Amino acid sequence: MGYYQLIRADGSSKRYSSMIQMLQNIDREDLETLWKLVKAKHGNTRPKEGYERVLWGDLKVMFEPDIESEIWRNLQGHKVTVWKIFSSCGVHFVRFKNMHIFMLVEKKYPLTPATIIDMLNKKLQIDYWNEMCYQLLKLMVKQVKNE
């Protein structure tokens, strides 16, 4: 079975079986460092297979959302099953029936108004209410009103 293994500069390491598990245990600085490392290793060339390909894809969509990307076109008509925030690293996660997407809280992404409304109707899952959650909800509502 595959896993993500993060090795810190001090030599300590930790294994994660999923991106969700990893996001629950890292902060924003760690996440940004991970993206820099993955990008330095692979650039804009998608790895061929395995966990590196999944990690590269999830991080690329998160940090460099491309409106022309196939991921945004594939969201059309898919219903939201889970919408959750990881406050420690400032990421929110949306799961659809056959796909998922990770997004930075403060960034706008090319989501359709229908998808945003579906997210708002599904309700954001949070461990505790904080300013980050409020700002995310405010941004999402603003995006729907501006479309």
Query: Over the stretch 41-61, which tens digit does the pLDDT of each residue have?
Result: 887 777 777 778 888 888 998
Q: Which residues in 63-97 are b (16+ Cβ under 10 Å) and which e? A: bebeeeeeebeebeebebeebbbbbebbbbbbbbe
Q: Where are the domains of the chain?
A: 4-146
pTM above 0.95, yes or no: no
- Over the chain, what is the mean pLDDT? 87
Given a cut of 70, is residue 1 above it in pLDDT?
A: no
Q: Closest Cα partner for 82 from 92, 72, 96?
A: 96
Pairing state of beta strands 13-16 and 4-7? Answer: antiparallel
